[in-house]
Amino acid sequence: MFGQDMIFRIPALLLAITVHEYAHGKMADYLGDPTARYAGRLTLNPLAHLDPLGLLMLWIFRFGWAKPVPINPFHFHNRRQGIILVSLAGPAANLVTAFVVLLVFKFWPGTGLVVRQILSLAFIYNLYLAVFNLIPIPPLDGSKVLWGFLPPSRAHAFSKLETYGPIILIILIYLGLVGRIILPIVAVLTHFLETITDWLVFGVIYRFLLGF
């Protein structure tokens, strides 16, 4: 639990949770809900999104949370569509961040050991955070996406699970079932992103050589 990478986890975790929460607020603001902006959450300053206890849990047990961005879906022109887009924005931002981090590895292989260690953890944390949050169990983003696609009667019944969602989630994590779901997906995404970045690097080198 307390490995040598403990000191590098903090900046990597802060990067992952910051882009995740910022994306939620930015998408909501774009769709007409200024709540996050008025609350000062449309910023990439990690302190604005930090929940000390949640970060401590993430740091030690690799399961935790950030301070949720306040959203008022009644500002959306289409409430269901708005909730779906805002919920997907966080995981999407984590995937983009993981891709950018991988590009840094490929194009600047000479970065220092400390930076590479932080970026390596940031890549993994962003992928894990993206996939984990898409699990359709309240209060995760995936539950809101599922709610948005359900018929009104079933959506109302599903919303009643919000009270028990965190308990169900903790039980599934304790039993190791969440890891069995996340790990294969993260492995597939890692392979996919590495393939894309390898092709990009190859393309850049090829065009560079053609210039001579």
Tokens representing 54 are 């949640």
- Between the two ends of the chain, the Cα-to-Cα distance in Å is 51
Nearest C-alpha neighbor of 98 from the set 121, 126, 134: 126
The pLDDT score that the predictor gives to residue 136 is 94
Phi, psi dihedrals of residue 155, rounded to the nearest 5°? -65, -40
Q: How far is CA 12 from the centre of its chain?
A: 12
Domain ranges of the chain: 6-210
Whole-angstrom distance, CA of residue 188 vs CA of residue 185: 5
Contact indicator for 46, 14 with CB cutoff of 8 Å: yes
Nearest C-alpha neighbor of 82 from the set 21, 144, 18: 144
Helix/strand/coil for 14: helix
162 a catalytic residue:
no
The pLDDT score that the predictor gives to residue 1 is 47
Sequence-distant contacts of 188-191: CB under 8 A, at least 24 apart: 189/95, 189/98, 189/127, 189/130, 189/131, 190/127
Nearest C-alpha neighbor of 79 from the set 181, 152, 163, 5: 152
The pLDDT score that the predictor gives to residue 208 is 67
Nearest C-alpha neighbor of 10 from the set 44, 48, 43, 57: 57
Contact indicator for 136, 164 with CB cutoff of 8 Å: no
Contact indicator for 49, 17 with CB cutoff of 8 Å: yes
The pLDDT score that the predictor gives to residue 111 is 66
Name the stretches of the chain with pLDDT < 70: 1-5, 58-64, 109-111, 206, 208, 211-212
From 17, 20, 21, 26, the catalytic residue: 21
Give 25-52 pLDDT, tens digit per residue.
Answer: 999 999 999 999 999 999 999 888 888 7
The pLDDT score that the predictor gives to residue 204 is 72
Whole-angstrom distance, CA of residue 160 vs CA of residue 53: 26
The rounded radius of gyration (Å) of the Cα atoms in the chain is 19
Tokens representing 42 are 């449309």
What is the amino acid identity at position 23? A
